[in-house]
Structure 1
Amino acid sequence: MGNRKYDEIHCSVNEDPAAYVRCLSNASADKDKSIPFFTDRCNAEDEGAYISFNGQTHHVRREAQQPHRYVRYAGTYEGNGVVVRILPTRLIKRYVDESDPHDVRVRYAVDVFIQYGNETARIAAIYDDQR
């Protein structure tokens, strides 16, 4: 429950009490859920990506690409006063579709560095391209 105070801050943007409770329930670490906070939403790389923190979502665009064989989000993104750097650190699991050996998906440990204003945070995260 170490993230509870951050979950409460994130969910506090909900003025409706029921929405606040639902948000806390969805963010609860007790449920062993992942919380997607960085996405391109519809696999449309030309539209950029979105990062959510402190109850807000920011639109960012890739500025520099750090080619990585499996982690397609690897690189630097900027927008709305936010800079995001995603650095793959280690392979956790590799999935190969038996019917198509070229269909490889991964679960990768990544470090996500977020700079917003004068603050920089590092988040140890998981990149997972499973469907």
Structure 2
Amino acid sequence: MVLCLLSGQSLAGGEIVPTDDPGSDCVAATIATRRSAANRTYDEAYCSVNKDPTAYRTCLKNAAANPTIAFFTDRCGDAEDGAYVSFNGQTHQVRRKSESPHRLVRYAGTYTGEGVSVRVVPGKLIERFVEDGEVLGVTYSVDVFITRGGETVKIAAIYDDRR
């Protein structure tokens, strides 16, 4: 599969940088975007727990080798548990405020919590994964709008719910 992603574009001139959600061991649907140069600062902070210089460099190398950032997921939780959005090295739990009807993108809608608002707007179907006539998942282009403290960014991303 080819991912054609654009880096986050600020609508208010500020800096909200999607960062990897630490997640869980489950195979949850995610929304991911392209890793940008701005991620280097957050990768360095994450890798700094490694006091050994070789381990630190290896951590940075591994982070840089992953071209995408999975920054939104529900971590296989129930709908009432909400979802998690990660940016600027922090993860925020958000709860669904309104649902946008979309048959295949279950994250479509608006979420709020911890001073953060997230709106997921589905775009076009990229790929449908079918085996023996059963749909095992889809990938969709989505626009994700994240608002915090009066600052809003629009992030072109990919929704992926393959099982």
TM-score bracket for the superposition, by shorter chain length: 0.7 to 0.9
- Cα deviation digits, residues 33-65 of structure 1 (max 9, x gap): 432100101242221000000000000000000
Q: Counterpart in 1 of 2:60?
A: 24
TM-score (normalizing by structure 1): 0.83
| Structure 2 residue corresponding to 1:53, chosen from 87, 105, 121 | 87
Q: Counterpart in 1 of 2:23?
A: none
Q: Does 1:95 align with 2:111?
A: no
Residue identity over aligned pairs, in percent, reads: 51
Which runs of 5 or more residues in structure 1 are unaligned? Answer: none
Deviation at 1:23, TM superposition (A): 5.2
C-alpha change, 1:59 and 1:16, in structure 2 (3 Å) is: same
Q: Counterpart in 1 of 2:36?
A: 3
Structure 1 or 2: more strand by fraction:
1
- Cα deviation digits, residues 53-105 of structure 1 (max 9, x gap): 0000000000000010100000000000000000011111112221xx34352
Q: Counterpart in 2 of 1:73?
A: 107
Deviation at 1:123, TM superposition (A): 0.5
Q: Counterpart in 2 of 1:122?
A: 154
- Displaced runs of 4 or more, over 6 A: none
- What SS does structure 1 have at the residue aligned with 2:69? coil
CA RMSD of aligned residues (A): 2.3
Preserved contact between residue 10 and residue 54 of structure 1 (Cα < 8 Å): yes
Preserved contact between residue 65 and residue 76 of structure 1 (Cα < 8 Å): yes
Q: Using CA pairs below 8 Å that are at least 6 residues apart, which structure has the higher relative contact order? A: 2
